Every structure is written in structure tokens, then in C-alpha cells.
Amino acid sequence: MPATDISNLTIDSDRLWSTLMEMAKIGGTEKGGVCRIALTDLDRQGRDLFVRWCREAGCTIKVDQVGNIFARRAGRDESKPPIMTGSHLDTQPTGGKFDGCYGVMAGLEVIRALNAAGYETEAPIEVAVWTNEEGCRFAPAMVASGVFGGAFTLDYALSRTDPDGVTFGDALKAIGYAGPEPVGGRKVGAFFEAHIEQGPILEREGRTIGVVAAAQGQRWYEINWTGMESHAGTTPMEGRRDALLGAALLIAEARRIGSRPNGRATVGVIESKPQSRNTIPGRVFMTLDFRHPDDAQLSAMDAEMRAAAARIAAEHRLDAVIEQIWYFPPTPFDAACVAGVRAAAVAAGLPHMDIVSGAGHDACYVAKVAPTGMIFVPCKDGISHNEVEDARQDDIAAGAQILLQAMVARANA
């Protein structure tokens, strides 16, 4: 097929769907979800299957020093930088079949569709699997794409530890994916990531394709409260230094702070010690996640939270230590990539709309070093990070078709 003729290129909806369902068996849960935590043996199994499929599709494979996998389909002109797509294979502990995995399998389907058509793009095509996108075992999230994009150093990523004290680097070696390739430092022609929306907007608006214009900014915190353990029966209420009370009051403040227009605030982890029902908690660890599409508002949320924590600590004779462990500002995506996604949706006659991503994605860090765009498709009831996460096969196929058209158009530009 001539490189200029892309109108007849189509993905195979059933093949894509069956590939997704096959990958979902690795770490599949009784409730129909997936638990495939980063750098575990289940993660290795998912990676091995992806690599096998890509080799069967004629791709060459490279793995970098943080375990990112790159499957490459040669182009007519190998001197051109690759047009890249991809996402992640790791999941939340109660994750679904589509978060991340869809973007990887859609990329594989692009390659398979090109092979089936006998189509040669001008620039090479690559599909990436980014390591530890979720961040539930090794914080912060998206650390490996962050190294690729220059936001973190290699040593920083490899030194991250999980709750059991295992380092990222040791876990990577244990599953056999500590690759030899340098992380980043090479030119990428463009990067497109397909993903379920993880929210309710597309479904509510009756749109098949979300043309992602930007991703909102995030700040992650770890907060330690210290009071004093004392007897639950003999310590008067006015004499208590209850660390859990400090945490509870800040949780309520965070809810208020995050309730501004377009704001988000989440306390996802809370650990109280000494975990005795008749002892007043003397130590509490908590996490806090702030998000907003406007960086000035995100900074204002930070200032309000710190002021509230200081006031609570003073009023209740507590110590509060706040550490911001992760920050990235709102990320606008490349105008030409966004336009390419929109043009593909228009050409396909699919209902679409511009949208801002409420979640962070590997694309946010890749955008620091390459022109980047994203494609969203609806998910049922907007639910994600949950075993009941679901999506319609037609929507999944439509997003992959837009990915195919946008990538090939860019590869031939």
C-alpha cells in the first residue's frame, strides 16, 4: 500500500479486544478486575507476554535501565525519529482491565494492522511500556517516564522503596527487566497515548473520543502527626494530644480546600499508631493528593493546607511534618498532536470533544521531551481504579482507530 494512502487502514476490533482480555488473565481477580502490581512476578508475566506478541509482529525490543520497554516497527526511513505510543501494564491493587493496558494493546494493534495491510510508514513506529505508572508500590507515580522526560534522575528512581523496604532497582533486577539501554536522551517524533477517560464526562456527553488538550497539575504529600500516647479512660478530653484528631481535622480541611471549582483533594492512606483501642493515638501517617488544572490555584491550595495544618497543630499541641514528595504543573499537550487527534476523529465521523485529563499519565512526562497528545474513550459510569472498571468494545476500537490514523499521518509527515 502506498505510504500516502491511509484511508483504508483499519484496526481489528475483535483482535484488540481478545488481546486485552488475554492480558487481563494475568493478575485477574474474582471480581473481574486485575491486580498486577509494578515489578512483581505478575508484572513480569505481563511484560513477557507483550514482548512475545511484539516479536511475533516483527518488532525489535529494547529495555532501558528503569525497565521501560520499547517495541519498534521499522519505517521506510530509519533515520527519522520514531512516532511512539504506549502506556503501562501495572495496575492498582484493585485495578481494572483497561487502565494503562488499553494504551499498550492499542499500540500493538496499530502495528498488527499495519502488518496486515502490508503498509510501510516513513518513520518507525514504537510502542512503549512505562514502568510503575501507578505509584502504588513505589512512589511517586510515573517515575520511569519521569526519568525519560528528565524530571527525575536514574539514581532517584532506582532508590525508591516499597513499604517492605525493597528498592525499585532490586525489584527490577528480580523480574529480569533491568535493561542496558540509557533512559531517554533520544529524539521522539511524537508520542500519542490512548487511555480510558477514568471519569464520567465523555459518557455523560455522549462522545466517543476525548481530544485531550492538557492534564491537570498534581501535588502529593506525606504528613506525619505526632502527639502523645496515653490512656483512653484516664486522660481527660482537654488534656489529650491526639494525633489522629489532628489528621481528621486536616482531612476535613483538605475536603474544603479541594472543593473549589475544578479542584480535587484525596487522602488515600492513613496509618494510626499504636493501634490499640484503649490508647490515644500518638502518631499518624497520612497521604494527601491535590490536583487542579490551574497552577496558581494549585499553589493556593498548598498554602491553605499548610496554614490549616499549622493552626490545628498549635490548637491541639501536636507536631505536623509535611513533605511534598511529588509535584508537576499542569501540562498542555502539543497543539499539532492535539489537532491531529481531532482531525482523525472528524474524518472518522466520531462524536468528540476537547477535554482536560483529571489523572496523571506517562504522556505528561514524555511531553517534556517530545510533541505529545492523548486520546480518551469513555469508561462505564466513569469508574476506574476499581475492579468493576469497564468499557465498550466499540469505544475501545474507535480510540485505537483514531490512534492508528493520527500516528500514521504523523509518521508520514
Could you tell me the CATH number of the domain that includes residue 306?
A: 3.30.70.360
Torsion of CA 199, 203, 209, 212, to 10 degrees: -30
- The verdict on residue 198 lying in a domain is yes
Mean local confidence (pLDDT), 291-312:
97
The count of residues in the chain is 413
Write down the residue that cell numbers 484525596 correspond to.
266
Q: Are residues 92 and 203 in the same domain?
A: yes
What does the block give as the cell for 132?
510503575
Q: Are residues 202 and 244 in the same domain?
A: no
Please check whether residue 137 is in contact with residue 112, taking contact to mean a CB–CB distance below 8 angstroms: no
Of 118, 125, 124, the closest CA to residue 1 belongs to 118
Q: Are residues 93 and 195 in the same domain?
A: yes
Of 164, 299, 290, the closest CA to residue 223 belongs to 290
Q: Are residues 35 and 148 in the same domain?
A: yes
What does the block give as the cell for 49?
507476554
- pLDDT of 9 > 60? The answer is yes
Q: Are residues 276 and 382 in the same domain?
A: no
What does the block give as the cell for 15?
483482535
Instruction: Give the residue from 328, 344, 369 where a domain finishes.
Output: 328
Please check whether residue 200 is in contact with residue 101, taking contact to mean a CB–CB distance below 8 angstroms: no
- The verdict on residue 232 lying in a domain is yes
Which tens digits make up the pLDDT trace of 33-87? 999 999 999 999 999 999 999 999 999 999 999 999 999 999 999 999 999 999 9
Instruction: Give the residue from 297, 328, 359 where a domain finishes.
Output: 328
Helices (H), 288-392: 295-315, 335-348, 362-366
Q: Are residues 190 and 314 in the same domain?
A: no
Which tens digits make up the pLDDT trace of 117-143? 999 999 999 999 999 999 999 999 999
Q: How many CB atoms lie within 10 A of CB 281?
A: 25
Of 93, 95, 85, the closest CA to residue 195 belongs to 85
Q: Residue 324: helix, strand or coil by DSSP?
A: strand
What does the block give as the cell for 324?
511534598
Burial of 307 (0-12, 13-18, 19+ CB in 10 A): exposed
Q: Are residues 250 and 191 in the same domain?
A: no
C-alpha to C-alpha distances, 160 to 139, 264, 287, 352, 364, nearest whole angstrom = 7, 26, 17, 39, 20
Q: How many domains does the chain have?
A: 2
Confidence class for position 2, pLDDT limits 50, 70, 90:
very low
Confidence class for position 328, pLDDT limits 50, 70, 90:
confident
Domain of 130, CATH number, reads 3.40.630.10
Cα–Cα dist 305/125, whole Å: 45
Distance of CA 294 to the CA centre of its chain: 20
Confidence class for position 151, pLDDT limits 50, 70, 90:
very high
Cα–Cα dist 144/160, whole Å: 11
- The verdict on residue 101 lying in a domain is yes
Query: Can you say whether residue 165 is alpha, beta or left, with left for phi > 0 and alpha for psi between -120 and 50 degrees?
Result: left
Instruction: Give the residue from 328, 351, 382 where a domain finishes.
Output: 328
- The verdict on residue 8 lying in a domain is no
Q: Are residues 28 and 116 in the same domain?
A: yes
- The verdict on residue 1 lying in a domain is no
- pLDDT of 292 > 70? The answer is yes
DSSP assigned state of 191: E
Close Cβ partners of 275 (under 8 Å, ≥ 6 residues apart): none
Cα–Cα dist 16/113, whole Å: 10
Confidence class for position 5, pLDDT limits 50, 70, 90:
low
Q: Are residues 367 and 293 in the same domain?
A: no
- The verdict on residue 2 lying in a domain is no
Q: Are residues 212 and 225 in the same domain?
A: no
Q: Are residues 199 and 73 in the same domain?
A: yes
Cα–Cα dist 23/89, whole Å: 9
Of 275, 268, 274, the closest CA to residue 223 belongs to 268
Range of the domain at 171: 13-216+330-411
DSSP assigned state of 164: T
- The verdict on residue 207 lying in a domain is yes
Q: Are residues 367 and 280 in the same domain?
A: no
| Model pLDDT, residue 268 | 95
Residue 249 is which amino acid?
A: L
What does the block give as the cell for 189?
517524533
Question: Which pTM was predicted?
Answer: 0.86
| Model pLDDT, residue 385 | 96
C-alpha to C-alpha distances, 66 to 118, 173, 326, nearest whole angstrom = 34, 10, 18
Cα–Cα dist 248/234, whole Å: 22
Cα–Cα dist 163/141, whole Å: 15
- The verdict on residue 155 lying in a domain is yes
- CA angle 394-400-405, nearest 5°? 125
